[in-house]
A = this chain, B = another copy of it.
Amino acid sequence: MKKDMTDTVASTEERIKEAARKVFLEKGFDGTTTRDIAQAAGINSALMNYYFRSKEKLFQSIFNDLCTMMFEGMLSIFNQPMTLKEKISAFIDHEFQMMRSNPNMVNFITNELHRNPERLFETIGLAKKIPESVFQKQVDEAIAEGLIVPISAHHILTMIIANSQFLFLSKPLTMQSNGMDEAAFNEFAVQHMAYVKDMICTYLFSPQKAT
């Protein structure tokens, strides 16, 4: 039987997974050794193979969780009952918060996906639901009504994600080349996201461009 799950101490399996997520997010798959994970979890290195059959399996499990979290976060916003403008604004805020509480997630996913694109296989279904969301329909309607510039939802999405996520991807470079500390970067980030939101909304809803 499993240990008591209601205890303050999480189950061993969960403890391993948490430790592994932390290490993988920091060092990536190639940079992580099974002994790193074992040490971080405070367990014997053989235990990792007892619960998850291999480093690869453990990694995939964590990778899937992160992708699922990311995609579901997006979908939950896209399917909420809001006006298009509210939704875009909410989405930018959501992305910003997401990146703040998980600063190296994007770099992790991007890089691992670059190294091995097949890793998306198990969560690709979720990703494909995004184009079918209510958001897509709202964009098409708004274009038809002449409310916004004619542009596909895919391009809008890419713009929003690019501006929110890249800000955190380039965090190490920005901080170093501008001599920023955490606080300074944070201030810059908050300011930047305000500009981004303003820019995207201004552009999409500009009356002179929309027919």
- Tell me the A residues contacting B by CB distance below 8 Å: 27-28, 30-31, 104, 107, 109-111, 113-115, 117, 120, 124, 127-128, 130-131, 151, 154-155, 158-159, 161-163, 165-167, 169-170, 172-178, 188, 191-192, 195-196, 198-200, 202-203, 206, 209
Contact = CB atoms under 8 A, between A and B. Distances in A.
Contact of A28 (B28, B154, B178): B28
Contacts of A27: 30, 115
Nearest to A118: B176
23 contacts: A27-B115, A28-B30, A28-B115, A107-B114, A110-B110, A110-B169, A110-B170, A110-B173, A113-B172, A117-B176, A127-B177, A130-B177, A131-B178, A154-B188, A158-B167, A158-B170, A159-B199, A163-B166, A165-B166, A169-B169, A202-B202, A202-B203, A202-B209
A154 B178 contact: yes
Nearest to A179: B128
A78 to B, nearest CB: 14
A169 B47 CA distance: 36
A167 B110 CA distance: 11
Contacts of A195: 151, 155, 159
A177 B115 CA distance: 16
Interface centre among A114, A127, A199 (most CB of B within 10 A): A114
A124 to B, nearest CB: 6
B155 A114 contact: no
Contacts of A127: 173, 176-177
Contacts of A104: 114
A202 to B, nearest CB: 6
A170 B161 contact: yes
